[in-house]
Structure 1
Amino acid sequence: MMELVDEGPVCIESTFLTIRLMENYLKSFEYFLLVSCFFSTFLQIYVLVKAVKYIRRATGDECLHVFLLSMTMGDLLLTSFCYPIEQLREQEIIKPPQWINVVQHFLTWLGLSASSASLILLNADKLMYFKFPLRYANMVTSAKGISLAVFVWFGCGVFVSLCWWLECFTCEEDCRQLMILPNKVVMYIVFTVSACIAPSLTSLGVAIYILNVVTSHRSKLSDGKDKKLVPFQQSFPENGNSSHALATRLRTFYFIFMTTIFTVGTLLPYRIYNIQRQLTPREQGEEISCGSIIFSWTCLYFVSLNAILNPIITVTVLPQYRFQWMCKKISSNPATTAVYV
């Protein structure tokens, strides 16, 4: 994109939007993404360490941590390797060999699909809790959660490998970019829908359903007058403070809900736009406005923001993963934040 801008006009300018302004905007956004990737990587490592600790401690909510571990691993692949390589390559700071570019593209597809699928598991876990509170402990175990997470990664790896094996695209310039072949567009659409659009919309539907359940009873949670909440309290007989246990579960749900909304807002625009572009390709020589170029690239950058900002949401919203200093700032009684289920 930057090379095209330097060579000459690539879009129709307007009074407020010139090619030079567009170039500065895109470069600034790319530098911001590059720096943010390194910062986000440290947060993701912190989340992974905490997740492993909670899984080993068998805190009673292992599946939440297993699925969060799976989602964060996908994001870590993107922010620690894929996105930095892509940005450094596009800025011509480095010129990696072809095999590095191939690995980068493969892991990008794998990380995106595994992260989205893991978000479905997080929502499904909370759906099972609110639908079957008395049977939840027996139906959802850490062993089953780990098996599901492994299956997700295996399935995503097989699917992405299948796309490469069927040669759905061609590499250009040492595989710096992947070009979808016209006769393989259907395969790309299947991947986009199954690995990005469907998981996001499924997670959104589940999250909205649970939100309606929570909202309808929120006013009665504190005094426990709602009979429909009795099963939730009975599902924690070993906990002396069942209301606090339920409140903790609700906080984890709000975290999953926020993550789902953020994922839908960052991933769907580019995926839908890209499918539309593949189905109705632009004719050669057709004029395009600079605003359209900025829109398409901004949608692409939002895909990167999803993996970058996910750990920030985790360490600020999810009680189990907050920093100690943050807990002290938020609560005057930080000891209560240490009780999890």
Structure 2
Amino acid sequence: MNTTFAILNETVANGTEANCTETFVSSASMENCLKLFERCMTIACFFSTFLQVYVIRKAIKYIKRGSGDECLHVFLLSMTLGDILLTSFCYPIEQMREQQLINPPTWVNICQHFLTWLGLLVSSASLILLNADKLLFFKFPLRYTNIVTSTKAMMIVVFVWVGCFLFVCLCWWLECFECNQSCRTLLIFKDKVSMYIVFTTSACILPSLTSLFVAIYIMNVVTSHRTKLSDENSNSSHALASRLRTFYFIFMATIFTAVTLLPYRLYNIKRQLFTDEDDSYSCLDLYYPWILLYLVSLNAILNPLITVTVLPQYRFRWLCKVMGCATNPSPVHV
């Protein structure tokens, strides 16, 4: 887990009402809100896992069929596999453990923390690949098919997974944190704060910011040169329309990722760099990072929902009947 919850659980367990008088939030109301939100998050994780299995099956089908946009499906498959690690195992274990519904052994807690880091890292890296794919298409539309192929995309994805796995292994091998209470929580050593900041910046902040800047840049390219792109792709207007639809999906996913992941990471870095010598915490001090923490969880939970509602190839049939859209778009060969 993290120090935020360690402090919060200790405060609630001790019945501490100190420093809550200046806010409208009491420790009792925080405890009730925590329990309710944990239960909702647990249910949402299982529903999200169902959507992710659907997206994975669809992605594999499109990759095997070679129906066009193979790189999109390969990178989306990689991102969804990273998310499903979080929603099918990591977050449910974490949430049920905090609700005291289960008391997993130490090795399960270690696996949960390790896979959480891996899933977050792979998901963010895959989003960068999705944006890079669209950047290459809109910058080099005539040479795109020679630059990017499904084989290259699969090799890149394998490299990303191996690299992320080794990176997380390195962080654990360097022992930058202390496992507390059978590894229920991870506490950063004071003399290893710099390593934590390096990890958080390289694994969470930079991928999110890179994806955001690339997505904004592509949006400017699409807006400024839409006519030129249409002329260059006059013989494949359907391909261009498909690329634009998938780009808008990636743009929405990128904005959502930045909004959900960045605030908590930046808050943690600020907290590590500017530690408060006062050990007392107001309820508002605990409530604010708690909200930011669950924004991180919502990223993986809501990603497949964005996919099945925005991306045409992945929409549910019943949803398409309601929205009046095509359930199976025509194949696009580019």
Letter in 2 for 1:337: P
Find the counterpart in structure 2 of residue 140 from structure 1.
148
Asked if the contact 2:23/2:283 (under 8 Å) is kept, the reply is: no
Distance in structure 1 (CA, Å) of the matches to 2:18 and 2:268:
19
Find the counterpart in structure 2 of residue 316 from structure 1.
309
Asked if the contact 2:261/2:299 (under 8 Å) is kept, the reply is: yes
Find the counterpart in structure 2 of residue 149 from structure 1.
157
Matched, 1:246 2:240: yes
Letter in 2 for 1:5: V
Distance in structure 1 (CA, Å) of the matches to 2:328 and 2:174:
54
Identity rate, percent:
64
Name whichever of 98-107 and 10-19 sits farther off: 10-19
Find the counterpart in structure 2 of residue 62 from structure 1.
70
Listed as ranges, the gaps of 5+ residues in structure 1 are: 219-225, 235-241
Structure 1's consecutive aligned runs of 4 or more residues displaced over 3 angstroms after TM superposition are 335-341
Find the counterpart in structure 2 of residue 233 from structure 1.
234
Cα 1:330–1:281 shift into 2, 3 Å: same
Structure-2-length-normalised TM-score: 0.93
How many Å apart are 1:215 and its aligned residue?
2.2
Distance in structure 2 (CA, Å) of the matches to 1:90 and 1:336:
42
Cα 1:232–1:187 shift into 2, 3 Å: farther
Cα 1:321–1:262 shift into 2, 3 Å: same
Asked if the contact 2:68/2:331 (under 8 Å) is kept, the reply is: no
Letter in 2 for 1:155: G
Specify which of 240, 249, 254 is matched with residue 255 of structure 1.
249
Find the counterpart in structure 2 of residue 7 from structure 1.
14
Distance in structure 1 (CA, Å) of the matches to 2:180 and 2:126:
32
Cα 1:163–1:335 shift into 2, 3 Å: closer
> 1:214-254 CA distances to partner (integer Å, 9 max, x unpaired)?
22355xxxxxxx344322334xxxxxxx3232111111000
How many Å apart are 1:289 and its aligned residue?
2.3
Specify which of 94, 98, 105 is matched with residue 86 of structure 1.
94
Distance in structure 1 (CA, Å) of the matches to 2:106 and 2:93:
12
How many Å apart are 1:11 and its aligned residue?
4.8
How many Å apart are 1:18 and its aligned residue?
1.8
Listed as ranges, the gaps of 5+ residues in structure 2 are: 1-7
Asked if the contact 1:78/1:108 (under 8 Å) is kept, the reply is: yes
Question: Alignment partner of 2:329: what SS?
Answer: helix
Find the counterpart in structure 2 of residue 329 from structure 1.
322
Distance in structure 2 (CA, Å) of the matches to 1:185 and 1:11:
29
Asked if the contact 2:15/2:27 (under 8 Å) is kept, the reply is: no
Distance in structure 2 (CA, Å) of the matches to 1:335 and 1:86:
37
Asked if the contact 2:138/2:229 (under 8 Å) is kept, the reply is: no
Distance in structure 1 (CA, Å) of the matches to 2:223 and 2:228:
15
Structure-1-length-normalised TM-score: 0.91
Query: Any residues of structure 2 matched to 1:1-341 within 5 Å, and which?
Result: 1-9=8-16, 11-13=18-20, 14=22, 16-217=24-225, 226-234=227-235, 242-285=236-279, 287-331=280-324, 334=326, 337-341=329-333
Asked if the contact 2:313/2:328 (under 8 Å) is kept, the reply is: no
Distance in structure 2 (CA, Å) of the matches to 1:170 and 1:46:
38
Cα 1:335–1:78 shift into 2, 3 Å: closer
Cα 1:10–1:111 shift into 2, 3 Å: farther
Asked if the contact 1:327/1:337 (under 8 Å) is kept, the reply is: no
Distance in structure 2 (CA, Å) of the matches to 1:33 and 1:56:
34
Distance in structure 1 (CA, Å) of the matches to 2:233 and 2:284:
51
How many Å apart are 1:282 and its aligned residue?
2.4
> 1:77-134 CA distances to partner (integer Å, 9 max, x unpaired)?
0000000000111111000000000011000000000100000000000000000001
Please give the root-mean-square deviation of Cα atoms over the aligned residues, in Å: 1.6
Question: Alignment partner of 1:337: what SS?
Answer: coil
Distance in structure 1 (CA, Å) of the matches to 2:291 and 2:302:
16
Asked if the contact 2:315/2:327 (under 8 Å) is kept, the reply is: no
Asked if the contact 2:178/2:187 (under 8 Å) is kept, the reply is: yes
Asked if the contact 1:18/1:290 (under 8 Å) is kept, the reply is: yes
Asked if the contact 2:109/2:183 (under 8 Å) is kept, the reply is: yes
Distance in structure 2 (CA, Å) of the matches to 1:6 and 1:251:
50
